[in-house]
Amino acid sequence: MTSTEYTCCICGFLDTDRSAELADVRSNVRRFSRERFPLWRCTGCGSIHSSRQVDLKEYYRYYPYFQQELDLVLRWAYRRLTRRLRRAGLDKQHHVLDYGCGSGLLVKYLRKKGYDNVVGYDPYSEDHGDESALQRRYDLVIAQDVVEHSEDPLEALRTLDRLTEHGGWIAIGTPNAAGIDLRRAEKYVHPLHQPYHRHVFSLSALQQAGENLGWRLEKTYFAPYTNMPVLSLPFMHYYMRCFDGTMDVLFERPLASRRLWFSPETLYWLIFGYYLCDHADVVAIFRKSE
């Protein structure tokens, strides 16, 4: 590895004495789960970087998230997300952009709930790939699971900034490198999500990068909206471990596992999982200056 590969694209730190914490981890997508991907943590800001250059197009071709549907569980999660956004100041008249909306399930959900001015944009979506959505500014820009996928995370934040009205909000849901222990990389295989997550901010680095754009961090949630009572994020991680430990399991929803039905661990995670969610994923709600 050359020294340029140890230059942090988030804080600019150049690790000349090669002190970076290193690890490698498998992919949590079944098709690639035998592949391992090297990671390093910036000593300067604590962010985690994926160091192997890959042809991401090939990996996105088999992306399990494309199978997601707006079912009861996801509606429940979106209800929690909407509640958080309302607490931040969202109302039904606001213009909202879901940037990186995938197949547009959140857009569909919010419109059904009476948020008529919600649009989605995703360059990989046939229905939401229209770039005219990027020609205006919004009261709220949501970027859930977006910035960590970018090869240039600061540019991703600048894009969000360009799309936000002065005084508007930017809601970023992303893994938090500060909550990930690279010595136990397998435990964090899902937030690390290799090779799709290229650069994972530490929360403090994200806050600093936001402040550099004139944003103020208004609220931080140390659990994603998908961490729900009973079907908590730690339970979902356990559920995946009952099978082959890949995220494909979440979309296939298999039930044929002795461990799932007969291990006391199942009950443990169902009851206590919600309270045991670690800080490996955060939602940071920023407000852009007036």
Residues that bind Zn ion in the complex, under the rule CB under 5 A: 8, 10-11, 13, 42, 44-45, 47
Q: Residue 8 Cβ, how far from Zn ion at the closest point, in Å?
A: 3
If one counts every other C-beta atom within 10 angstroms of the C-beta of residue 127, the result is 11
Q: Residue 269 Cβ, how far from Zn ion at the closest point, in Å?
A: 34
Comparing CA positions, the residue from 217, 186, 199, 79 lying closest to residue 146 is: 199
**What is the rounded CA–CA span in Å between residue 280 and residue 175?**
6
Sign (positive/negative) of CA torsion 215, 74, 231, 147? negative
Comparing CA positions, the residue from 193, 205, 188, 164 lying closest to residue 65 is: 193
Cβ(244)–Cβ(33) under 8 Å?
yes
Of 175 and 234, nearer to Zn ion (C-beta) is 175
Of 12 and 167, nearer to Zn ion (C-beta) is 12
What tokens were used for 60?
């996105």
Cβ(173)–Cβ(280) under 8 Å?
no
Q: Residue 48 Cβ, how far from Zn ion at the closest point, in Å?
A: 10
Q: Residue 128 Cβ, how far from Zn ion at the closest point, in Å?
A: 32
Q: Residue 44 Cβ, how far from Zn ion at the closest point, in Å?
A: 4
Of 68 and 212, nearer to Zn ion (C-beta) is 212
